């Protein structure tokens, strides 16, 4: 998606997504989600790896790794296996970390 593009709705995609513009809704991908600097996303995000350099508001589930770049702003609860936050990034929300594929009963 380019800087002038906008997407609203529900996306289930077998691959990776790069967001450069504005996106709202629900995005579940098997690969990675990359939110570019200047992009604005208001959505539920689910992917293997998520890299954020723009603004994201919504729940996020990274099956492997979440990277918050220098200018990233993330508002929402996240579930991740690994988390990398660069200096200058902001994160407001609850964070759950660990390996969630092996969740046992009683949780």
Cα separations (Å) of 15 from 33, 43, 49, 98?
A: 9, 18, 11, 24
Which pLDDT belongs to residue 104? 45
- pLDDT of residue 61 exceeding 90, the answer is yes
Cα 5 to Cα 34, 54, 105, distances in angstroms: 15, 15, 43
Taking CA atoms, 56 is separated from 9, 20, 83, 106, in Å, by: 16, 12, 16, 32
Could you report the per-residue pLDDT of 17-59, keeping only the tens digit for each? 999 999 999 999 999 999 999 999 999 999 999 999 999 999 9
Q: Would you kindly state where each structural domain of the chain is located, as residue ranges?
A: 6-87
pTM (2 d.p.): 0.88
User: If you count DSSP H runs as helices and E runs as strands, how many of each does the chain have, helices first?
Assistant: 0, 11
The lowest-confidence range among 1-10, 31-40, 78-87 is: 1-10
For residue 68, give the 3-state DSSP assignment.
strand
pLDDT tier, 98 (very low <50, low <70, confident <90, very high otherwise): confident
Q: What angle do CA 43, 2, 56 make, to 5 degrees?
A: 25
8 burial via Cβ count (<10 Å: 0-12, 13-18, 19+):
exposed
């Amino acid at each position: 998606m380019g800087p002038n593009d906008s997407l609203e709705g529900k996306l289930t995609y077998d691959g990776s997504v790069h967001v450069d513009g504005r996106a709202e809704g629900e995005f579940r991908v098997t690969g990675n989600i990359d939110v570019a600097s200047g992009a604005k996303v208001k959505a539920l995000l689910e992917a293997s790896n998520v890299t954020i350099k723009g603004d994201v508001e919504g729940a996020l589930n990274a099956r492997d790794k979440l990277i918050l770049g220098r200018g990233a702003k993330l508002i929402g609860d996240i579930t991740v296996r690994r988390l990398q936050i660069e200096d200058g990034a902001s994160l407001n929300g609850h964070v759950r970390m660990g390996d969630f594929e092996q969740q046992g009963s009683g949780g």
